[in-house]
Amino acid sequence: MSGAWTWLTDAANWSGPGGVWTRLLQHLWYTLLSVAIAVVIALPLGALIGHTGRFTGLVSGVANALRALPSLGLLILLALWGLHTLKGDLALLAPAIVVLVILAIPPILSSTYAGIANVDPAARDAARGMGMTGTQVLLKVELPVAMPLVMSGLRSAFLQVVATATIAAVVALGGFGRYVIDGLAQQNYSMMVAGAFLVALLAVLGDRILAVIGHFVVSPGLTGRAAKGRRPAAPTADLVAARTIGMSGGG
Amino acid sequence: MISFESVSKVYPDGTHAVEDLSLEIPTGRITVFVGPSGCGKTTSVRMINRMIEPTHGTVAIDGQDISTVDAATLRRGIGYVIQSAGLFPHRTVLDNVATVPVLQGRSRRQARAAAAELLDRVGLDRTLSGRYPAQLSGGQQQRVGVARALAADPPVMLMDEPFSAVDPVVRAQLQDEFIRLQGELGKTIVFVTHDIDEAVKLGDLIAVFAVGGRLAQYAEPAGVLSRPADDFVADFVGRDRGYRALSFVAGDLPVRPEQTLVLGERVPPGAGAAAEGISVDHGRWALVVDTGHRPRGWLDCTTVPVDHRVTVEDLVLGGSLAGPGGSLRIALDAALSSPSGRGVAVDDAGTVVGTITAGEVLSAIEQARRSDASGLTAGRTLDKQPAVR
Amino acid sequence: MNWEWLQRNEQQILAWTLEHVWLAAVPTILGLLLALPVGAIAHRYRWSYGTLITLAGLLYTIPSLALFVVLPGLMGTRILDPVNVVVALTLYTLALLVRVVADALDAVPPLVVASATAMGYKPLRSLVTVQLPLAIPVIGAGLRVAAVSNVSLVSVAVLLGIPQLGQLFITGFQLDFFTPIIAGIVLCLLLAAIFDTIILLTVRLSTPWTRAVPGR
């Protein structure tokens, strides 16, 4: 433990191509890129399925299937394929990003779908009755009301990706996972623990930041904080299930 | 004017929700669609703003077939109030009300200013404008729903059981305010309810629907009550319809003068002496008023000694009041609900004018029946309920 | 896909599979058993809900590899010890399920709980015999997520040298050979599917009232 502290406080470990700042940027880059791509794919898909009510089986089917995939195995599979097929840096990076995106999709897809599907039907009916077109109902009413769940899905996805990106170090990628893998290889326990600590820190801080962002993005009328002094109403069973399904393993 | 021409709605599984409906809804009046569950009243109303499309027939507004108009545009010109209000939980009260004007292109600031005025109109405190729906009571949410429907000043309003989800006291308040509002605005309103009392109270015209989507009767409330078109309507209106029909009868109330005691006065001997010519109670009850000659309650003179100073605790409260221009139903209720058997009649200022007994009301009914064959006045009920203290 | 190689290494693969099953199933069950009381406490004592859920959330945020690495130092075990994996995954399952259990109990209709109390059920008995059974469907949904996650997470532990199906991935990578990798993925998927189905069936069997079709 103290070894890890020593390692972390050693300035030499913070600079240079193997230094903490570099690794941080790499880790962040993999994470943000993958989550962004996953959002572009899964959010509209989840929103449309929730809005139209069609292909709802797709959501749980896809989410469950993708979540069952062993992240390490997938990573190695695609990395190997990448090494054979692609050239240069991309050979390992592209497959890794693909895996990260695949793993980030389930939480975003199911949370967005659940959020939209659970919008008060009376609000939807009123919106249509007032003369909003289908798209307007989706964008002005359903999505904003679904925001709390969408944000929770985003946070789950972020955690999932940070965790798996750590493992990506096995296939020679950068990021904080490098410290763990290299530390293991070199029997440098301090470096391992330091790496583990840095990953945990990144995950926790990132989650906190997303929570704060969520605070600003989600209307106060939705969080139950605005409710008259009561604590928020007990969630319905399918909402709890949906929230859970939107979460994923720590990696 | 909204017209239904041979409109039917048949669902793929064979259910006939609406069966060959033809009627005309007059402009500027409240038309109530009433009936039991499954009678097609909500389905019919939802065909007016094309939330549901008819399988056969045409719905037209002011002569124009609505199927030729873009649905979203059509709906922006029709106010829509539903049972659970359907407020947007993520928007403040003010932004909820401002929804349609903003949709139509007005600036947000203008829309919000207009919304604030509307809140006044529906009887909501302006301090609520920054709150979220979750922070409001059921009655408040319903008022916001109405304000939201009024925001674009649509000529037509559709209201689907808007007052059903609140408790009876709030419901009565909302109904009264709705009548007042309509008096100011004069919109074409189609109102759906399953409650015949609400229909009779609010409607200028009532359309009674039977299960299976059949229109059973379409007439003024008085007509539905006194001349039901068939057994179904008679049954639906219920056993009290004779009594309910009294709401539409005005009559000269033979009010007798009544001796009164003022609160704080001493009970004189011989108090409670029955008004001249009336032998009921043998002088037991005395009407007690305040210094403004407004009724406060009845005093049972047998329970207090002579010279006792009358206080509020001595009184038996209760007994509704018959206001001026009220119907015979109110007069009868006042007489029946009074502990002394004498209903209190008051004027516009609420001061006591005299009393009337049940027997006298019944005579007045007979008189009205003899002088006019139908004996019933058209239009809304004459009942205004003054507050009973 | 080299079937011969698979046949030759059949025994080893079987051993790894069994190890994997054990390493994934035990934490799932342990985590559930621990989450039930903790979740019940969070549900019952509202003031604790916030703290407990936040702690659970924090725990869940920590990536698995980090936990696998840090735990030996804290527990005094060697890195190679499978106990690390079991403890770590139990903690994850616990963290995931605490919120699920609390929310599932919240979702039990309050009127049902009130009737039970009015009939004379003491709180603990009401919890165990009335509320928990009604909460089973939702807890079951959460348990399925946890079980499937655990199957995937166990394979990550190969990086610490612990023998299970994850070894197939490393072997494949080192030998530049696709067969073991694909075999490993398929077996993991199979295990996940089996766990998922077992939990699903258990939930179905233990909640006959959800299957009763109302007479029309």
Walk across the sheet containing B64-65 and list its strands: B16-25, B2-10, B56-61, B64-65
Which residue in A118, A130, A137, A142 has the most chain B C-beta atoms within 10 A of its own C-beta, making it the best mutation to test that interface? A130
Which residue in A27, A155, A240 has the most chain C C-beta atoms within 10 A of its own C-beta, making it the best mutation to test that interface? A240
Task: For A110-135, write each residue's pLDDT tens digit.
Answer: 899 989 988 989 999 999 998 899 89
Instruction: Give phi and psi for B311, each to the nearest 5.
Output: -120, 170
Structure tokens, B86:
């359907």
Output the pLDDT for position C93: 92
- Nearest CB among C65, C145, C152 relative to A245 is that of C145
Chain A residues close to C96, C-beta within 8 Å:
244, 247
Output the pLDDT for position B205: 94
- The whole-angstrom separation of Cα B56 and Cα A232 is 46
Return the partners of chain A (3 or more C-beta pairs < 8 Å): B, C
Q: Do A166 and C65 touch (CB under 8 A)?
A: yes
Q: Do A226 and B135 touch (CB under 8 A)?
A: yes
Q: Do A132 and B103 touch (CB under 8 A)?
A: yes
Domains and CATH numbers, chain A: 2-246 (1.10.3720.10)
Nearest CA in chain A to C153: A251
Task: For A230-243, write each residue's pLDDT tens digit.
Answer: 344 455 555 665 56
Q: Do B135 and A127 touch (CB under 8 A)?
A: no
Nearest-neighbour CA in chain B from A120: distance (Å): 8
* pLDDT interval class at A166 (50, 70, 90): confident
Hey, is the C-beta of C55 within 8 angstroms of any chain A C-beta?
Answer: no
With touching defined as 3 or more inter-chain CB pairs under 8 Å, the answer for chains B and A is yes
Q: Do B132 and A128 touch (CB under 8 A)?
A: no
Q: Do A129 and B51 touch (CB under 8 A)?
A: yes
Q: By percentage, how much of chain A surpasses pLDDT 70?
A: 88
Tell me how many degrees the CA angle B374-B380-B382 measures, rounded to the nearest 5.
Answer: 80
- The whole-angstrom separation of Cα C82 and Cα C89 is 11
Chain B residues close to A145, C-beta within 8 Å:
88-90
Structure tokens, A109:
């897809």
Q: Do B132 and A228 touch (CB under 8 A)?
A: no
* pLDDT interval class at C30 (50, 70, 90): very high
Q: Do C110 and A234 touch (CB under 8 A)?
A: yes
Structure tokens, C146:
């946890």
Hey, is the C-beta of C53 within 8 angstroms of any chain A C-beta?
Answer: no
Helices (H) and strands (E) in chain B, counts: 13, 17
- The whole-angstrom separation of Cα A123 and Cα A222 is 13
Output the pLDDT for position A43: 94
Task: For B27-62, write each residue's pLDDT tens digit.
Answer: 999 999 999 888 889 999 999 999 999 999 999 999
Chain centroid, CA B69 distance in Å: 34
Output the pLDDT for position A243: 60
Q: Do A228 and B145 touch (CB under 8 A)?
A: no
ipTM value for the complex: 0.81
pLDDT at B134 over 50: yes
Cα dihedral C162, C168, C171, C172, rounded to 10, equals -150
Hey, is the C-beta of A223 within 8 angstroms of any chain B C-beta?
Answer: no
Return the partners of chain C (3 or more C-beta pairs < 8 Å): A
Q: Do A131 and B103 touch (CB under 8 A)?
A: yes
Q: Do A226 and B51 touch (CB under 8 A)?
A: no
Chain A residues close to C137, C-beta within 8 Å:
237, 241
pTM of the model: 0.76
pLDDT at B192 over 80: yes
Overall average pLDDT of the B167-183 stretch: 88
SS3 assignment, position B64: strand
Domains and CATH numbers, chain B: 2-248 (3.40.50.300), 260-371 (3.10.580.10)
Nearest CA in chain C to A84: C176
Burial (CB count within 10 angstroms: exposed 0-12, middle 13-18, buried 19+), residue A185: exposed
Tell which A residues from 163 to 222 touch B, by Cβ distance under 8 Å: 219-222
Chain A residues close to C176, C-beta within 8 Å:
80
Task: For B312-366, write each residue's pLDDT tens digit.
Answer: 888 888 777 877 777 778 888 888 888 888 888 888 788 888 888 888 888 877 8
Q: Which residue(s) pair with B64 in the sheet?
A: B61
- The whole-angstrom separation of Cα B62 and Cα B66 is 10
Chain centroid, CA C11 distance in Å: 27
Task: For C96-142, write each residue's pLDDT tens digit.
Answer: 899 889 888 888 888 888 888 888 888 888 888 888 888 898 899 88
Tell which C residues from 4 to 43 touch A, by Cβ distance under 8 Å: none
Structure tokens, A55:
């292909």
Nearest CA in chain B to A121: B86
Nearest CA in chain A to C99: A244
Structure tokens, A179:
């410290």
User: In chain B, what's the furthest Cα-to-Cα distance?
Assistant: 81
Q: Do C151 and A68 touch (CB under 8 A)?
A: yes
* pLDDT interval class at A54 (50, 70, 90): confident
Q: How far is CA B372 from CA B80, B249, B330, B379, C193, in A?
A: 41, 11, 20, 16, 83
Q: Do A250 and C149 touch (CB under 8 A)?
A: yes
Chain A residues close to C183, C-beta within 8 Å:
none
Instruction: Give phi and psi for A196, each to the nearest 5.
Output: -60, -45
The gap between the terminal CA atoms of chain B, to the nearest Å, is 43
Overall average pLDDT of the B169-180 stretch: 88
- The whole-angstrom separation of Cα C68 and Cα B303 is 88
- Nearest CB among C62, C100, C176 relative to A80 is that of C176
Q: Are B297 and B312 in contact (CB under 8 A)?
A: yes
With touching defined as 3 or more inter-chain CB pairs under 8 Å, the answer for chains A and C is yes
Nearest CA in chain B to A120: B86
Closest CA to B26 of B177, B150, B203: B203
Q: Do C92 and A250 touch (CB under 8 A)?
A: yes
Q: How far is CA A59 from CA A20, A206, B128, C193, in A?
A: 39, 27, 40, 17
Going by C-beta distance under 8 Å and a sequence separation of 6 or more, which residues neighbour residue A179? Answer: A23, A191, A192, A194, A195, A196, A198
Q: How far is CA C216 from CA B12, C213, in A?
A: 20, 9
Return the partners of chain B (3 or more C-beta pairs < 8 Å): A
Q: Do B75 and A120 touch (CB under 8 A)?
A: no
Q: Do B86 and A228 touch (CB under 8 A)?
A: no
- Nearest CB among A131, A219, A228 relative to B90 is that of A219
* pLDDT interval class at C5 (50, 70, 90): confident
* pLDDT interval class at B103 (50, 70, 90): confident
Nearest-neighbour CA in chain B from A219: distance (Å): 5
- The whole-angstrom separation of Cα B93 and Cα B143 is 10
Nearest-neighbour CA in chain A from C122: distance (Å): 22
Closest CA to A112 of A73, A85, A80, A151: A151
Task: For A194-228, write each residue's pLDDT tens digit.
Answer: 888 888 889 888 988 998 999 888 888 887 654 44
Domains and CATH numbers, chain C: 3-205 (1.10.3720.10)
- The whole-angstrom separation of Cα C86 and Cα A191 is 23
pLDDT at B278 over 80: no
